[in-house]
Structure 1
Amino acid sequence: MSRLRRMPPRRRSYDQYCAAARALDAVGDRWTLLIVRELLAGSRRYTDLHADLPGVSTDVLASRLKDMERDGLATRRKLPPPAAAFVYELTERGRGLLPVLDALATWGAPELAERRPTDAVRAHWFALPLLSLFDQLGTPGTVEVRLDEGVFHIVLGDGAPVYGEGPAPAPDARLVLDADTCRAVGGGALAVEDGVRDGRIEVSGEGGIAKVLRGE
């Protein structure tokens, strides 16, 4: 008896001639936008993505990444020796989802009023709520943010602001604060200069963005 050839599953679609429906065809599955959030911080290995997406199964993560490659949102490439590892990164179309994630973060900020005991947290997850806030200051520069949970940085200047995981090579400003204070700043409940005055935020650096953040 010949072995039946397994056919790939049919891609689910809303089958609606609507821009929002077409967008959700590509990014509406569970975990997809959170993978985009991770890749907006830079190229990531599969193991790094799995570590920073607590709760996702290996099968689902692999499936979503394949879908994102198929839909032109992400690519996979091999790093040169000695690393010789594969990394995933967003395409230009994938990076175009930054305003979408930014808007979702702004809309969802009130839901962070209470942290549940089961909630995982990574420092760079706080970058999204800060992007628009810092970009509105109109001062270019790189801001490094240090929390107990880790470090991330935001680059402001020409074009859309971007963020990355880990410290910046030469930040124009460095902020040291706790997660609750960072949430308050990102949600608009606390201005950075007020946090500095109250001793909740430490801002160091002599760049223009540091002076603006200190209210000088």
Structure 2
Amino acid sequence: MSGARTYADACAAAHALDLVGERWALLVVRELVLGPKRFTDLRRGLPGAGPNVLAQRLRDLERAGVVTRRTLPPPAASKVYELTGWGRELEAVLITLGRWGARSPAHSLEHGLGEDSVILAMRTMFSPDAAGDARVRLALRMGDHRYRVRVEEGVLEACYGEEPEAEAVVTTDPGALAAVLWGGRPPADAVAEGAMAVEGDPGALERLAAMLPMPEPAGA
């Protein structure tokens, strides 16, 4: 990706891996799919990546034209990283790769997910067929993060922001939410154990979970 290492292969797939195939590179892209982030935000989302490695990946991705850096206007005036238009096209790659990886018999939720990872997982697993004509409007609160989730006419919108017309406001953490959406844990159990709070219609979260089926595991 930085030019020091290359597959030296004219295949476009090989060239793509030259650009985003280094360890952590695609996960940096994943962290930026929902919007710009500061370096400290990226560190929080990728705790396994050391600061030097993360800084190098960001430089490589900038050089490749996948990521750009800018300074927010005052009063924030913070430097943030964000995907370029071309870089945003990698969301489709991540979704396809995520669905493929979810079919691995060895896939597990034990290692946990970050806040943005749960939202991207919703986009990955959403099934228009399973959704049918059902509607869901949720406000999700995970720590300092606020997300809105809407399903209408077989289309999912899951992104940063508040949902003013929420059927339910769900306050939780990524692990508890993932356990409800994909681990078969009833929301009532998560609420009873203090891992989740639901204001409004508790059935809204169950309806959402039914729209996010995991793909069948691959055969041996």
TM norm structure 2: 0.67
Cα deviation code 1:140-164 (max 9, x no counterpart): 8764345689754446689x96644
In structure 2, the CA distance between the partners of 1:156 and 1:89, relative to structure 1 (3 Å rule), is farther
Structure 1 stretch 88-97 or stretch 175-184: which is displaced more? 175-184
Aligned to 2:117: 125
Aligned to 1:15: 8
Larger relative contact order (Cα-Cα within 8 Å, sequence gap ≥ 6): 2
Distance of 2:58 and 2:157 partners within structure 1: 22
Given candidates 13, 30, 51, the residue that maps to 1:58 is 51
**Paired amino acid for 2:139:** E
Given candidates 176, 179, 185, the residue that maps to 2:181 is 185
Please show how residues 108-123 of structure 1 align to structure 2 within 5 Å. Answer: 108-109=101-102, 111-113=106-108, 115=110, 119=111, 121-123=113-115
Higher CA-based Rg: 1
Residue 89 (structure 1) aligned with residue 82 (structure 2): yes
Please show how residues 20-59 of structure 1 align to structure 2 within 5 Å. Answer: 20-59=13-52
Residue 170 (structure 1) aligned with residue 159 (structure 2): no
**Paired amino acid for 1:144:** A
* Aligned positions, number: 194
**Paired amino acid for 1:122:** G
Unaligned runs of 5+ in 2: 192-197, 211-220
In structure 2, the CA distance between the partners of 1:138 and 1:99, relative to structure 1 (3 Å rule), is farther
**Paired amino acid for 2:18:** D
Given candidates 139, 144, 156, the residue that maps to 1:144 is 139
Unaligned runs of 5+ in 1: 1-8
Distance of 2:41 and 2:112 partners within structure 1: 15
| Coordinate RMSD, CA, aligned | 3.8
**Paired amino acid for 2:12:** A
In structure 2, the CA distance between the partners of 1:33 and 1:10, relative to structure 1 (3 Å rule), is closer
Distance of 1:46 and 1:94 partners within structure 2: 18
Residue 80 (structure 1) aligned with residue 76 (structure 2): no
Q: Percent of pairs identical after alignment?
A: 35
**Paired amino acid for 2:76:** A
Given candidates 100, 107, 118, the residue that maps to 2:100 is 107
Distance of 2:67 and 2:124 partners within structure 1: 24
Cα deviation code 1:3-37 (max 9, x no counterpart): xxxxxx74321111112111111110000111111
Query: How far off its partner does 1:89 sit?
Result: 0.6
Q: Is the 8 A contact 1:74 1:90 kept in 2?
A: yes
Distance of 1:135 and 1:175 partners within structure 2: 23
In structure 2, the CA distance between the partners of 1:112 and 1:134, relative to structure 1 (3 Å rule), is same
Distance of 1:20 and 1:135 partners within structure 2: 28
Query: How far off its partner does 1:175 sit?
Result: 6.4
TM norm structure 1: 0.68
Cα deviation code 1:166-206 (max 9, x no counterpart): x52435454647736635635xx76xxx957x87796946x
